Amino acid sequence: MALTAVSLRSTLVSATTNLVLRRIPPAMNSQEPNGESLIPQMSANGRYIIFHSDANNLVPNDTNDATDVFLYDRETASVTRVSLTASGAQAVSDSCCHSDISGDGRYVVFASGSPDMDDVAGQNGWTDVFLRDQQTGTLTQISHAFDGTAANNGSFSPSISADGQHVVFQSYASNLVTNDTNNTVDLFVYTVATQTIHLVSVALDGNSGNGASILSYNDAVSDDGRFIVFYSLASNLVTNDTNLAQDVFVRDRDADGDGILDETGPGEVSTQLVSVTPGGAAGNGNSNAPFLSGNGRFVVFSSLASDLVLGGDTNPEYDLFLRDMTSGVTELLSVLTDGSQSEGASSYGVVSEDGRFVVMQSAAELTGLEPDLFYDIFLRDRQTGVTTLLSQSAGDGQLGSGYPDIAADGLTIVFQSSSRDLVPNDTNNVRDLFLYDVDPNFYLYLPAIQK
């Protein structure tokens, strides 16, 4: 028998010992953060979380009146400010907005427009991308021109591989590589060992694509740096891209499998269209916001296309899909437990390493417990087919939640929320970060929850 919303709520409440939500990070002296904390990114092992915040009570001596990037260590319950200059001083202006962290937490990448972040050769008045080694304290500006001089435009939205050796970012600069003549934003990858930059959004003729190419919020590069996911308006990255829409692509930096990345010979690198119909054609609507699993096998993305799965996508909204790059099968994710669709956009999702668990950002009514109007966070278990609301408010203070991330094993989930009563004593009236530690037994419990 189908459970009502009330009985489903009771079922979920009875499982709270297996699914524990808490607010992070703690401010000094057990205070609440006095400013917003946004866009969390988690290390693969779930220990470290990097985010940006304009709170000034997370660490001592935060007096720059600017947004900073911070690292929260769950094991030690400590917060460290990472957006410091090469000398260790606080920056004079903002550092944000999409930062990332390596699998073991040693390396962090972030963007900053603070002029005192730039090295001598890189001073340009634009936002640049930086790599910090938390072990040595070294700060490296990676967005340089190919001749070592300053980039001639802004660079931002970095993503780092789990091994800490490859940084993907987007940039409007035209002098990071030779022959970048398309006058729009492109994607680049920086190799730490060689300190070299290669163009990712490469057209079939080897030049830059004929449209803007963009990274998403979260993981855009596989653990070993081989695969990179992005979306683009360019129509010349692959053959037969004629839909005049944003599409999702994966760049394989080692298509011949010889272990050498970014070779220039035939068949040594490749770009593959991901947002395709069952027949392999480009979808009939915009696709964007992709996330790549650490092993490079699974891509989660949002799309307006109605022809990506067999049977079609019957609602006129952005939905979330998962593409298995090994099997070549695409699956619709943003559905209720009974498999039906609901009105409301689903704009972003992340997936565990094995592809079983997907955490989704959606305004659709996928469980019957969520209010209208706002985005919520849902957990989709692809093995059992169960969809569960995670951003469950205790009262009437439920507001928008978003930007989820998930640990590789699926047992830790983090997201940001404006809601006031996800946890007790949330009185700071700003967006905060929330974290679920999931007992593995919770997933054994999920199959009993039916809509």
Within a domain: residue 109? yes
Q: Minimum mean pLDDT among 91-95, 410-414, 419-423, 446-450: which range?
A: 446-450
pLDDT at residue 6 in the model: 35
Within a domain: residue 324? no
Say how many CA atoms lie within 13 Å of 117 toward its Cβ: 32
pLDDT at residue 193 in the model: 96
Sequence length of the chain is 451
pLDDT at residue 442 in the model: 67
Q: Minimum mean pLDDT among 143-147, 275-279, 370-374: which range?
A: 370-374
pLDDT at residue 396 in the model: 53
Mean pLDDT computed over 282-297: 97
Give φ, ψ of 27 to 5 degrees. -85, 175
**18 or 103, which is more confident:** 103
Q: Minimum mean pLDDT among 2-6, 34-38, 111-115, 393-397: which range?
A: 2-6
By CB atoms closer than 10 A (0-12, 13-18, 19+), residue 365 is middle
pLDDT at residue 409 in the model: 94
Say if residue 131's pLDDT is above 60: yes
Within a domain: residue 129? yes
Within a domain: residue 70? yes
Mean pLDDT computed over 325-335: 96
Is-contact 369 362, C-beta < 8 A? Answer: no
pLDDT at residue 395 in the model: 56
- Per-residue b/e over 47-84, b at no fewer than 16 CB within 10 Å? bbbbbbbbbbbbbeebebebbbbbbbbbeeeebbbbbb
Say if residue 448's pLDDT is above 60: no
Banded pLDDT at 121 (limits 50, 70, 90): confident
Within a domain: residue 5? no
Mean pLDDT computed over 212-228: 94
Within a domain: residue 321? no
Say if residue 16's pLDDT is above 50: no
pLDDT at residue 98 in the model: 87
234-281, pLDDT tens digit by residue? 999 999 999 999 999 999 999 999 999 999 888 999 999 999 999 999
pLDDT at residue 371 in the model: 60
pLDDT at residue 70 in the model: 97
Say if residue 13's pLDDT is above 80: no
Is-contact 436 19, C-beta < 8 A? Answer: yes
Mean pLDDT computed over 403-427: 93
Domain total of the chain: 1
Within a domain: residue 377? no
Say if residue 1's pLDDT is above 80: no
25-67, pLDDT tens digit by residue? 989 988 999 999 999 999 999 999 999 999 999 999 999 999 9
Mean pLDDT computed over 300-327: 95
Q: What is the mean pLDDT of the chain?
A: 90
Within a domain: residue 352? no
Note down the domain range covering 78: 38-199
Q: Which CATH number characterizes residue 171's domain? A: 2.120.10.30
100-116, pLDDT tens digit by residue? 999 999 999 999 999 99
pLDDT at residue 3 in the model: 34
